[in-house]
Amino acid sequence: MTSTPTIGTVMWPMRSWPEAGDLWRRAEDLGFRHAWVYDHLAWRGETPWYDAYTTLAAAAAVTSRVRLGTLVTSPNFRHPVPTAHAIKTIDHVSGGRVSIGIGSGGTRRASDAGVLGGDAWTPHERASRFAEWVELLDLLLRGPETTFEGTYYTAREVVTEPGCVQRPRVPLVIAGDGPRGMHVAAKYGTGWVTSANAGGRAPQDIVRSRLAALDAACEAEGRTIDDRILMTGFSGEPWLESPGSFADLAGRYAELGITEIALHWPRPGTRFEADMKVFEAVAAEHGEGR
């Protein structure tokens, strides 16, 4: 029998402390396995928009059970060396409850693709930077000392002791739907994350084909990835129309091989608007406290 996926929630870094802290504690109390946050300097012109890593450190200090993470960290404006330093610190603050999602970074200049200046990256360069960024981050988190000379990123005698609480390092959840992204996931990922958004195709068909490609990449790399996360909210599917609707969709995706469903915390007036009572009912039925 196919297991029902576990559930996480994507939080919005748009409220100041201590109100934001109350929401992270609420996510834990509702029984979500993970609570994630986007990593941007800005998101489609939305303000205010607070820093993901600082938010995770604060959330780690006011929670004790829920796993925390970025979904996903962006190489657009982060270098692997200070990012690894922050990740290691949050892993200690949280007592080993952090997972780091990583993607190739968005291309919207209204988000963070152009805030540091310079020419826009070509798709090839963006994919190459992503692969090298993850390679170096992996080395830095494993430690104890890293020297690396890449095409885009450099590290010289970076000491990372005492290292992460989680061994051999903090889990990495890779967002990659194309061949190169799949290769990065298969080589470095503890988990993999996707959405069902590709335009013009049935969402479940999209995810089915991506999971098949991931399996092929993992076979080529001689590894397996057990955590396969679906970020909802982009495909038009009625995930939070009712508890029954959620259960039906979760079951269908579980049959495809999805192990975790990430639901956005409801935001009125946006595509992520949802009845909070339904959201809470889904958490009660499918969360870790069930």
- Tell me if residue 124 falls in helix, strand or coil: helix
What DSSP character marks residue 197? -
Name the residue type at position 252: R
Give percent helix, percent strand, percent coil of the chain, each to the nearest 5. Answer: 40, 20, 45
Query: How high does pLDDT run on average in the chain?
Result: 94
Q: Residue 109 has what pLDDT?
A: 65
Residues in the chain predicted with pLDDT less than 50, given as ranges, are 1
User: What is d(CA 217, CA 206) in angstroms, rounded to the nearest whole number?
Assistant: 17
Hey, what are 213's tokens?
């490609």
* Domains (range + CATH), the chain: 6-286 (3.20.20.30)
User: What is d(CA 52, CA 36) in angstroms, rounded to the nearest whole number?
Assistant: 9
Q: Residue 106 has what pLDDT?
A: 83
Q: Residue 1 has what pLDDT?
A: 47
Residue 7's nearest CA partner among 234, 185, 241, 254 is 254
Q: Is the peptide bond before 171 cis (omega within 30 degrees of 0)?
A: no
Alpha helices in 35-121 (DSSP H): 52-62, 80-93
